[in-house]
Amino acid sequence: MKLFHIHKNNVVVAIAILYIILFVYTASSKLMHLGVFRLRLERMPYIAPYAQWISWGIPFLELVIAGLLLFHGYRLIGLYGSLVLMLLFTGYIIAVLQFSNSIPCSCGGVVSALGWKDHILLNISFMILALLGILWSKKQNNIQATQKSVQ
């Protein structure tokens, strides 16, 4: 049973590492081409008026969440943040695709080369990972709390 918990802990760490790679990678790509990222946002429906703010805000938020995922104490908050960010991205993509299927992707790096369906699949996969991470982190925290109260 203990071995099972250790493995779960490792899986949560692995999920956090995957998210760190994803967020640091996409944030770096966006920041390297901030002007182009802003140009793309300006062509997106609904959010075009806020392109200036979003072009700085999203990479900043991604880096903050990656930072939270680094530390064991903040990992659960980081996983919640990742899940919310992914939900927002995916919800926005799906909403926009109701009107057009030729929207320029404003995502960073090679992710922008993905088609919209692939993009949604990637996001859903990451959301499932975040959910698993949250569930297992919570269980682990509960076990640790129980052990402390017993001692």
Partner 1 sequence: MKSNFLKLVLPAFAILLAVGLAFATEDKTILQIAHYYDTVDQEWKSATAEEGCGEDGENPCLYDGYQLYSAPNFGSIQLHKE
List contacts with partner 1 (CB under 8 A).
10, 13, 16-17, 20-26, 28-29, 32-33, 35-36, 39, 42-43, 66, 70, 72, 104, 108-110
Indicate the residue among 28 and 90 with the shorter CB distance to partner 1.
Answer: 28
How many CB atoms within 10 Å of residue 138? Answer: 12
Indicate the residue among 52 and 91 with the shorter CB distance to partner 1.
Answer: 52
Indicate the residue among 147 and 149 with the shorter CB distance to partner 1.
Answer: 147
Minimum CB separation from partner 1 for residue 80, in Å?
Answer: 19
Q: Which residues of 10-46 are buried (b: 16+ CB within 10 A; e: fewer)?
A: eebeebbebbbebbbbbbebbbeeeeebbebbbebee
State whether the Cα torsion 79-22-124-10 is positive or negative.
Answer: negative
**Whether 23 contacts 62, CB under 8 Å:** yes
Minimum CB separation from partner 1 for residue 10, in Å?
Answer: 7
Question: Which of these, 37, 137, 6, lies nearest to 78 by C-alpha position?
Answer: 137
Indicate the residue among 34 and 143 with the shorter CB distance to partner 1.
Answer: 34
Minimum CB separation from partner 1 for residue 27, in Å?
Answer: 8
Minimum CB separation from partner 1 for residue 42, in Å?
Answer: 6
